[in-house]
Amino acid sequence: MVRKKKLSIREERFFLAAKAIKESINRNLPIDQGGFNCPILVEGINDVKCLRLLGFLGIIETVNKGWDRSRMVAYLHETYGSKLSMDGFPRIILLMDWDRTGDILQKSFTNRLNSMDIKIDHSLRDVLSKQFKSECKTVEALSSFSDPLLDMISQI
């Protein structure tokens, strides 16, 4: 009988985060690479860089394009709202920072997009904020944990 090694609390946290990241990476992949082409909406360019470092290859949109929220919501609706989710999950992954500003943006975009019948996936943000709340408050800060996360992702 093979006995599994018990994970430390830190390893368990990284495992849960890596699992959520891997699931989102798979949904974000382009269709021709076996994914569902599900876009991710983040706050800025440094968040995009961090997600690319973690292995996201698909569409990543940024809130900070110099547009007001109404224009951004209209763009998201026109670009992604008419497409049906092929995997039964919400159509857009919303990943704002887990600070005060990120919370406000997350709620605002969720309410506006839901009112247009575009379902939002919060699961990645929920898991990351829970697992890393004490160490970081932003998506871009995850890059400092990229090595252990990438190691865990490769083992899943």
Express each pLDDT in 4-41 by its tens digit: 667 788 889 999 999 999 999 999 999 899 888 899 99
Number of domains in the chain: 1
In a domain, 14, yes or no: no
CA 58, 61, 66 angle in degrees (round to 5)? Answer: 160
The residue type of 36 is F
In a domain, 3, yes or no: no
In a domain, 34, yes or no: yes
CATH of the domain at 121: 3.40.1360.10
In a domain, 33, yes or no: yes
The confidence score (pLDDT) of residue 21 equals: 97
Express each pLDDT in 95-152 by its tens digit: 999 999 999 999 999 999 999 989 899 999 999 999 998 899 999 999 999 999 999 9
The confidence score (pLDDT) of residue 31 equals: 87
Domain residues for the domain of 115 are 22-155
